[in-house]
Amino acid sequence: EEALIAVAANFTAAARDIGAAFEAEGGHSVTFSFGSTGKLYAQIAHGAPFHAFLAADVARPEKAEAEGLAVSGSRFTYALGRLALYSPDPDRIGTDGAVALAADDVDRLAIANPVTAPYGAAALEVLAALDLTDALRARLVQGDTIMQTHQFVVTGNVPLGFVALAQIVGHTDGSRWLVPQDLYTPLRQDAVLLRAGADSVAARAFLDFLRGPVARDIITGYGYGLDDDGRG
Amino acid sequence: MATVVWLTLQLAAVVTVVLLVVSTPIAWWLARSKAPWKEVVGALVTLPLVLPPTVLGFYLLVAFSPSSPLGQAIEGVFGQGLPFTFEGLVVASVLHSLPFAVQPIRNAFEAIGDRPLEVAATLRASPWAAFWTVAVPLARPGFLAGAILGFAHTMGEFGVVLMIGGNIPGETKVLSIAIYDYVETLEWDKAHVLAAGMLGFSFTVLLAMRLVERRLGWGGQTR
Amino acid sequence: MATVVWLTLQLAAVVTVVLLVVSTPIAWWLARSKAPWKEVVGALVTLPLVLPPTVLGFYLLVAFSPSSPLGQAIEGVFGQGLPFTFEGLVVASVLHSLPFAVQPIRNAFEAIGDRPLEVAATLRASPWAAFWTVAVPLARPGFLAGAILGFAHTMGEFGVVLMIGGNIPGETKVLSIAIYDYVETLEWDKAHVLAAGMLGFSFTVLLAMRLVERRLGWGGQTR
Amino acid sequence: MRGETITAAFAGRLGTFALDARFEVPARGVAALFGASGCGKTTVLRCVAGLTRLPGGVLRVGRDVWQDGPRFRAPHRRPVGYVFQEASLFPHLSVTGNLRYGLRRARQGDDDAAPPVAFDEVVDLLGLARLLARPTAVLSGGERQRVAIGRALLSQPRLLLMDEPLAALDRPSKDDILPYLETLHDALAIPVLYVSHDIAEVERLADTLVLMEHGRVRAVGPLADLLADPALPLVRAPEAAEVLDAVVIDHDPAYGLATVAVAGGRLVVPAEAGTVGTHRRLRILASDVSLCRSPPAAGASSILNVLPARITGAQPTDGHLVTVVLALGADGAGAPLLARVTRKSWDLLGLAAGQPIHAMVKGVALVDRP
Amino acid sequence: MRGETITAAFAGRLGTFALDARFEVPARGVAALFGASGCGKTTVLRCVAGLTRLPGGVLRVGRDVWQDGPRFRAPHRRPVGYVFQEASLFPHLSVTGNLRYGLRRARQGDDDAAPPVAFDEVVDLLGLARLLARPTAVLSGGERQRVAIGRALLSQPRLLLMDEPLAALDRPSKDDILPYLETLHDALAIPVLYVSHDIAEVERLADTLVLMEHGRVRAVGPLADLLADPALPLVRAPEAAEVLDAVVIDHDPAYGLATVAVAGGRLVVPAEAGTVGTHRRLRILASDVSLCRSPPAAGASSILNVLPARITGAQPTDGHLVTVVLALGADGAGAPLLARVTRKSWDLLGLAAGQPIHAMVKGVALVDRP
Ligand SMILES: Nc1ncnc2c1ncn2[C@@H]1O[C@H](COP(=O)(O)OP(=O)(O)OP(=O)(O)O)[C@@H](O)[C@H]1O
Ligand SMILES: Nc1ncnc2c1ncn2[C@@H]1O[C@H](COP(=O)(O)OP(=O)(O)OP(=O)(O)O)[C@@H](O)[C@H]1O
Ligand code: MOO
Ligand SMILES: [Mg+2]
Ligand SMILES: [Mg+2]
């Protein structure tokens, strides 16, 4: 049996690995549809045939549950996003990212669109916590997704940017600062079983697998945190 | 990946054909009608282009969703809804690319003028026959331009497709989305390869369209 | 929101104008040249349309980045780079919408035929003068179609704009992105209002373009 | 359609041009529309073909009503063959494609019968054989026009509308095509509405003349009557002429000369053999007719035709010329004839209306074909 | 450009058509290109205007080289006025716009001097006044053609190329326009290359004839010489005629008749007053000339002109006619003249080459304007 899972774009790479491991276990296959959380939600609300939804935030799975689009009680946090400050320049960021942020030559700073992307909102919280909001507001460049934000930085168009740790975890180039978790609200990413998947054995099996140890290794391997007090 | 490529080709081909079929009567009416409000229709036909593709896709999604009257009607007639199906992609892409085909075809019809159709009428061709034997052949450059723009736009645009199609591999995941995914997941090498392949292929198709048209063409202008 | 609307209008207007200016010589060359490889150029000009807008935006970002030779050259000449500036938006949008203008203008130039230009030459008009006094006025329907498509597409398309512009409020954040944001954040009511406003405005502009053209027009066909 | 007529009444405005053309011509033979540039000839043809629709217009062709009040037969249902003033070939079709376009449709009606106007015959007559495969864009002006004529003929029309069809043609081509048009309307009984600025062409071809002026019909009637009507401007034209109906009564094969009888006299004219007993059309230019009081002695002049006649009227022309209207026969009961003489001769010879006179006719020719 | 010439040599292929036209004509007066449809006349004009470029072509106009080997003067640098075979008006401009298009550019050169061809004059002559504001789409065929002529004239050309400019015009319009064209080339010394299928037009206007056949020049020379050349097909044409240079030596105001002298004789022709001493062109149709052994008694005929001549040749024409080439004067030393008689008359009168004869000329006319 086949499970059709809608996955927030930032989780693309991890989801592929998890899917491969899940299928290797035998029994079921899984197909992913990647997109931004907002787009996926709009589709789910209008009859998309997805069995489960791996969002990039808590709000939309919650809303799906509340509106009867999802099987109530199936929601859980599958990953915690980790924010990182990144520069392709190996020397730009030292041990304290705040110093790099306060430097005079930061003519631009890339963040994700705080309205649509949770990572963007988190980045703003960090700036506020470091008291750099006023200094940097005029220099912010917004990527629509956290992926675009990353591209702004790696293509050299922007010297510094707040990206997801998942995006740079495998790379050793440039310099980075893992933003302390106390500077922003945790980036909970919730998954939920959708109404269309209520009777899908494969979808339930995949969600179970997602909570299992193999998947958790993969998730942490991509730099995500785990919700230790989660219901998983 | 093979299915993605195949799906993309199917989509581009089907959309281009449907686009020409749908645009032709609209363009003809816009070119020939004397109705004072025809420009209103002309502007309306262009509007799908004004909305951001994702937004257009969103509204199509709303319109076609099983809970909407239109969606229910479609499901009643065809036994399945449009969203998240290949047919849905075709409908949405056609709608979105409509102005690209209607404009050049309309212009081509207008450029013909009245005379060839008058001649056809005096030679006993019904309006229907004159349309097929005179207007359409003479408007060929317009059809070509419409086909070129429609094809290229369908290859590349994925906002609408992503929204209405749901990016489901083997069913609605097309090449443009695949490249996009690779770019987004930093697999740039793969993105480059795919993009180059897509450009190369499209280039070949576009060039072939032109050259075939030239071959068929009636060789140049009046002296 | 006012700045977003204003920026969008500016962008659409500037892009439409620049598009016509840039497309005209290309379309003219494609229409008139006898070079056998001109269709290669014709197909190349269409290619920007084939890439997904975001992907095209990504490649433009790479090409214009301060670390690329092109980006350095631009920065050297103009004192600033293109990405994340209004100018950058214009360049990217023009590039992306180029085929929409080139195709209809080229078709219109081709539809003129040789005769009017020959007549102009025998009346002592230099090729340059003939171009302006004969070819351009006679190709007006093509310019109109190009302007309509270019304008509408610039209003709506934001993949490229988003990528090269960085969505900076007051500088590169346009209406289409705003609507998109509302859709993504489930603020559908606001999206509806904005979309309706944008459609209404664009409808008015598109209709006005047509009607103005009609007014200027030379009223109908030869008998 | 013997005895039937084409009745037309078109009135209305086109921009600043006011048309008010009413005429009735036999639905047989050639009716020529003649008049100055811009007088509305093309507009009338377009109305007849149904391409221009003036409300309130009336058009009856034989027993068929093509337009009357709300009735309006669509252009493609009118079996006309229209040769437009500009050739208007289909640019996307070859010469063959253009020629066959109407033929194909005409055949659809009755596909077993061979069409009365055959493809090969038309191609041959119009000299189109070596042009057939060409695109129309490279044709010369005359070639284009011949293709347009062929296309109209091949559509098997039951009414031909021809708007200066021979204007771009050289004389030999005209001389080939004109007789063929005559055959068409004689043998196939296809009536023709024919626009031409060339009065010689009209005199050769037309049976009926519709004289137009500023959007109105100034006069309509049999060609011979209008040509000799002193009230009309035709008699004052430099190339004024009269046409006469002649019966061939004898033929001299040695010299290729026929003796023909017209009302009020006999003439000797060059003619083909084997036409004795047939009706032919003679055209005699006013400038080819001189007058003398008594006939010259036989054998003294190369002028073979000297006819007694009576002067019925005269029109001063151009200040120093006089166009004299004659009636043939010593009694003046025969056909009309025009003579153009200088005012000096008029005075020298002491000519006046009512007088008997001899018309010396130089350069008379049969203008139709046997 | 007195004494200068236009030298042209164009050879090459256009599709299946092979052009090899070489000719030299005076760079003054009117040179007519005459020949059957499709013989290459339009192609030659296009080569002269520079619109068609045949490699290896040569074109010299007076002292200027317009084409020779690698030298090729661009079309817009050639001061030609081209009236195309199809009117080819600019559809986006009104009639005024079309007329002023070339005028504006011609003026740019020397803007203080009034242009030799004035706007109002041309508008007046061509009867365009009430058309000025119209879009060109609604013009009639003749109106279109007149606008095209006006447009070409107003571009102040130094060489006029006219491709059947009068084909769509009625006779009165032609009669208005032709004299004006004569003024142009006389007064302004603008040479004209003129294509026409109407030999009468050519005989009236042309000084030089370029006779074309199948893409080649069959003969080129002064009009009068070629018209009477028995080796050329012109003498056999139904409307064969000769033109003569005449000096007006007397004028009778009472009858509006002038006595003119041609080489070898005198004629009386209708003419305007006040032209004594001027050179005029006479055109005499072969069919207007009859022959007699002895002149008729004075006062017995309306024919005013009887001239002694000698038969220099004869061409059987059409089986039963003979075109007789005469030389005027009792000694046969004067200008050539053509007479068309039936073979019967030829035999009856016992005519033969070398014989003295009297030519009775009916219908002679001055074809140029004073
Ligand atoms: N739609 C129109 N609007 C304004 N004027 C028009 C229109 N159609 C025709 N005319 C005018 O009507 C007059 C008659 O035109 P028409 O073409 O019938 O003339 P015609 O007799 O065929 O002349 P020609 O011999 O020059 O072809 C012309 O003066 C023309 O300009
Ligand atoms: N580009 C071309 N390709 C093939 N044939 C051509 C081309 N151009 C001209 N011709 C042919 O060359 C011949 C001469 O054409 P042209 O137009 O010079 O004739 P013309 O003497 O002006 O005839 P008309 O009196 O009919 O206008 C025609 O048979 C024409 O079809
Ligand atoms: O993964 Mo997201 O929803 O594109 O930030
Ligand atoms: Mg007309
Ligand atoms: Mg020609």
Is the confidence at residue E120, as pLDDT, over 70?
A: yes
Whether D contacts E, i.e. 3 or more CB pairs less than 8 A apart, is yes
What's the confidence (pLDDT) of residue D363? 67
Q: How is the beta sheet containing D64-68 ordered, strand by strand?
A: D71-72, D64-68, D58-61, D5-14, D17-26, D216-222, D208-213, D30-34, D192-195, D159-163, D80-83
| pLDDT interval class at C130 (50, 70, 90) | very high
Instruction: Say which amino acid occupies D300.
Output: A
Per the CB < 8 Å rule, is C184 touching A38?
yes
- Residues E299, E320, single domain; the answer is yes
* Cβ atoms E196, E164 nearer than 8 A: yes
Q: Report yes or no on E233 lying in a domain.
A: no
Query: Which residue in C has a C-alpha nearest to residue A37's C-alpha?
Result: C184
Distance CA E282, CA E289 (A): 13
What's the confidence (pLDDT) of residue C134? 95
Size of interface B-D (CB pairs under 8 A): 77
How close B129 comes to chain D (CA, Å)? 10
In percent, how much of chain E has pLDDT > 90?
Answer: 39
B61 contact partners, CB below 8 Å, separation of at least 6: A42, A43, A46, A47, B83, B163, B164
Sort strands A76-81 and A187-193 into parallel, antiparallel or unpaired: antiparallel
Cα–ligand 3 centroid distance for A175 (angstroms)? 24
Per the CB < 8 Å rule, is B162 touching A39?
yes
Burial, C3: exposed, middle or buried (Cβ in 10 Å; 0-12, 13-18, 19+)? Answer: exposed
Instruction: Say which amino acid occupies E148.
Output: A
Burial, D350: exposed, middle or buried (Cβ in 10 Å; 0-12, 13-18, 19+)? Answer: exposed
What's the confidence (pLDDT) of residue A231? 38
Q: Whose CA is nearest to atom 3 of ligand 2?
A: E15
What's the confidence (pLDDT) of residue C220? 41
- Residues D132, D256, single domain; the answer is no
Contacts of C55 in chain B (CB under 8 A): 176, 179-180, 183, 191, 195
Of E170, E200, E228, the one marking the end of a domain is E228
What's the confidence (pLDDT) of residue A46? 82
Q: Which residues of C172-201 are buried (b: 16+ CB within 10 A; e: fewer)?
A: bbbbbbbbbbbbbbeeeeebeebbeebbeb
Q: Whose CA is nearest to atom 31 of ligand 1?
A: E139
Q: Which ligand is nearest to the CA of A54?
A: 3
Residues listed for chain B: 223
Helix axes C188-216, B38-46, angle to 10 degrees: 130
Task: Write out the two tokens for B79.
Answer: 């036994």
* Cβ atoms A39, B158 nearer than 8 A: no
Instruction: Say which amino acid occupies E97.
Output: G
Tens digit of each residue's pLDDT (9 = 90 or more) over D259-283: 888 888 888 887 777 678 888 888 8
Query: Which residue in B has a C-alpha nearest to residue A42's C-alpha?
Result: B58
Give yes or no for C184 touching A (CB within 8 A).
Answer: yes
DSSP per position, D173-211: HHHHHHHHHHHHHHHS---EEEE-S-HHHHHHH-SEEEE
What's the confidence (pLDDT) of residue D183? 76
- Residues D290, D159, single domain; the answer is no
* Cβ atoms D244, D279 nearer than 8 A: no
Q: Which domains does chain B have, with CATH numbers?
A: 2-222 (1.10.3720.10)
Cα–ligand 3 centroid distance for A36 (angstroms)? 4
How close A55 comes to chain C (CA, Å)? 13
Of C49, C104, C142, the CB nearest to B153: C49
Per the CB < 8 Å rule, is D137 touching B124?
no
Residues listed for chain C: 223
Number of domains in chain D: 2
- Residues D65, D205, single domain; the answer is yes
Of B123, B134, B222, the CB nearest to D137: B222
Q: Report yes or no on D233 lying in a domain.
A: no
For all residues of chain B together, what is the average pLDDT? 85
Distance CA D363, CA D358 (A): 16
Instruction: Say which amino acid occupies E246.
Output: A
Pocket of ligand 1 contains residue D41 by CB under 6 Å:
yes
Straight-line distance from the first to the last Cα atom of chain A, in angstroms, rounded to the nearest whole number: 24
- Residues E38, E158, single domain; the answer is yes
For all residues of chain D together, what is the average pLDDT? 86
What's the confidence (pLDDT) of residue C131? 95
Q: What DSSP designation does E140 have?
A: -
What's the confidence (pLDDT) of residue D299? 60
Task: Write out the two tokens for B28.
Answer: 């003809």
For residue E268, which of A52, B23, A129, D321 has the smallest C-alpha distance? D321
Question: Is the model more confident about E255 or about D43?
Answer: D43
Q: What is the pTM of this model?
A: 0.90
For all residues of chain C together, what is the average pLDDT? 85
For all residues of chain E together, what is the average pLDDT? 86
Contacts of E93 in chain C (CB under 8 A): 218
Handedness of CA B204, B210, B213, B219 (dihedral sign): negative
The H or E element that residue A104 is part of is none
Of D228, D257, D279, the one marking the end of a domain is D228
Cα–ligand 2 centroid distance for E17 (angstroms)? 7
From A36, A41, A188, mutation site for ligand 3 pocket: most ligand atoms within 8 A of C-beta: A36
- Residues E66, E30, single domain; the answer is yes
Sort strands E321-328 and E336-342 into parallel, antiparallel or unpaired: antiparallel
Is the confidence at residue C120, as pLDDT, over 50?
A: yes
Contacts of B121 in chain D (CB under 8 A): 49-51, 74-76
Q: Which of C45-59, D174-188, E218-232 has the lowest mean pLDDT?
A: D174-188
Whether E contacts A, i.e. 3 or more CB pairs less than 8 A apart, is no
Is the confidence at residue D287, as pLDDT, over 70?
A: yes
Q: Compute the average pLDDT of residues D333-358.
A: 86
Which residues are paired to E267 by β-bridges? E260
Cα–ligand 1 centroid distance for D43 (angstroms)? 6
Which domain, by its residues, includes E105?
5-228
Q: Which of A35-39, D162-166, E158-162 has the lowest mean pLDDT?
A: A35-39
Distance CA D269, CA A82 (A): 115
What's the confidence (pLDDT) of residue E368? 66
Q: Which ligand is nearest to the CA of D173?
A: 2
Cα–ligand 2 centroid distance for E8 (angstroms)? 18
Q: Compute the average pLDDT of residues C8-29.
A: 93
Highest mean pLDDT among C78-92, D89-103, D285-299: D89-103
Q: How is the beta sheet containing E64-68 ordered, strand by strand?
A: E71-72, E64-68, E58-61, E5-14, E17-26, E216-222, E208-213, E30-35, E192-195, E159-163, E80-83
Q: Which residues line ligand 2 (CB under 6 A)?
A: D 138-143; E 14-17, 37-43, 85
Cα-based distances in Å from C81 to A134, C10, C77, C92, E296 = 24, 20, 9, 13, 104
Q: Whose CA is nearest to atom 2 of ligand 3?
A: A36
φ and ψ at residue D306, rounded to 5 degrees: -125, 120
- Residues D197, D162, single domain; the answer is yes
* Cβ atoms A114, A142 nearer than 8 A: yes
Q: Whose CA is nearest to atom 27 of ligand 1?
A: E141
What's the confidence (pLDDT) of residue B220? 41
Pocket of ligand 1 contains residue E169 by CB under 6 Å:
no
Label residue E128 left, alpha or beta by phi (over 0 means left) and psi (-120 to 50 means alpha): alpha
For residue E193, which of E361, E30, E78 has the smallest C-alpha distance? E30
Neighbour subunits, A (≥3 Cβ pairs < 8 A):
B, C
- Residues D174, D270, single domain; the answer is no
Tens digit of each residue's pLDDT (9 = 90 or more) over E13-37: 998 899 999 999 999 889 999 999 8
Q: What is the CATH number of the domain that holds E343?
A: 2.40.50.100
- Residues D186, D297, single domain; the answer is no
For residue A84, which of A11, A10, A164 has the smallest C-alpha distance? A164
Sort strands E5-14 and E17-26 into parallel, antiparallel or unpaired: antiparallel
| pLDDT interval class at C217 (50, 70, 90) | low
φ and ψ at residue A109, rounded to 5 degrees: -135, 125
The residue among B40, B103, B179 with the most chain C CBs within 10 A of its CB, best to mutate, is B103
Pocket of ligand 1 contains residue E139 by CB under 6 Å:
yes
Q: What DSSP designation does D235 have?
A: G
Positions of chain A with pLDDT lower than 50, given as ranges: 230-232
E5 contact partners, CB below 8 Å, separation of at least 6: E24, E25, E26, E27, E60, E62
Q: Compute the average pLDDT of residues D218-245.
A: 87
How close D90 comes to chain B (CA, Å)? 6
Q: Compute the average pLDDT of residues D171-200.
A: 83
- Residues D182, D45, single domain; the answer is yes
Contact residues of B toward D, CB < 8 A: 115-116, 118-127, 129-130, 133-134, 137-138, 140, 218-223
Q: Report yes or no on D234 lying in a domain.
A: no
Per the CB < 8 Å rule, is E105 touching C220?
no
Query: Which residue in A has a C-alpha nearest to residue C164's C-alpha?
Result: A152
Q: What DSSP designation does C49 have?
A: G
Label residue A154 left, alpha or beta by phi (over 0 means left) and psi (-120 to 50 means alpha): alpha
What's the confidence (pLDDT) of residue A232? 34
Q: Report yes or no on D235 lying in a domain.
A: no
Q: How many CA atoms lie within 13 A of B221 on its CB side?
A: 14
* Cβ atoms E13, E56 nearer than 8 A: no
Of D228, D253, D281, the one marking the end of a domain is D228
| pLDDT interval class at E298 (50, 70, 90) | low
Question: Is the model more confident about E214 or about C8?
Answer: E214
- Residues D46, D147, single domain; the answer is yes
Query: Which residue in D has a C-alpha nearest to residue E233's C-alpha?
Result: D172
Cα–ligand 4 centroid distance for E166 (angstroms)? 14
Positions of chain B with pLDDT lower than 50, given as ranges: 219-223
Q: What is the CATH number of the domain that holds E148?
A: 3.40.50.300
The H or E element that residue C158 is part of is none
In percent, how much of chain C has pLDDT > 70?
Answer: 96
Cα–ligand 3 centroid distance for A55 (angstroms)? 8
Contacts of A4 in chain B (CB under 8 A): 168
- Residues D23, D79, single domain; the answer is yes
Tens digit of each residue's pLDDT (9 = 90 or more) over C147-180: 999 988 888 877 777 777 777 777 777 777 788 7
From E13, E17, E217, mutation site for ligand 2 pocket: most ligand atoms within 8 A of C-beta: E17
Whether A contacts D, i.e. 3 or more CB pairs less than 8 A apart, is no
Of A41, A115, A156, the CB nearest to C66: A156
Whether C contacts E, i.e. 3 or more CB pairs less than 8 A apart, is yes
Distance CA C99, CA C49 (A): 7
Q: Whose CA is nearest to atom 10 of ligand 2?
A: D138
Q: Report yes or no on E261 lying in a domain.
A: yes
Pocket of ligand 1 contains residue D157 by CB under 6 Å:
no
Distance CA D190, CA D187 (A): 8
φ and ψ at residue D224, rounded to 5 degrees: -60, -40
| pLDDT interval class at E110 (50, 70, 90) | low
Per the CB < 8 Å rule, is B221 touching D137?
yes
Task: Write out the two tokens for B50.
Answer: 């004004």
What's the confidence (pLDDT) of residue E290? 84
Q: Which residues line ligand 3 (CB under 6 A)?
A: A 8-10, 36-37, 56, 117, 145-146
Q: Compute the average pLDDT of residues E299-328.
A: 83
CA E307 to chain centre: 26
Q: Report yes or no on D178 lying in a domain.
A: yes
Contacts of A32 in chain B (CB under 8 A): 169
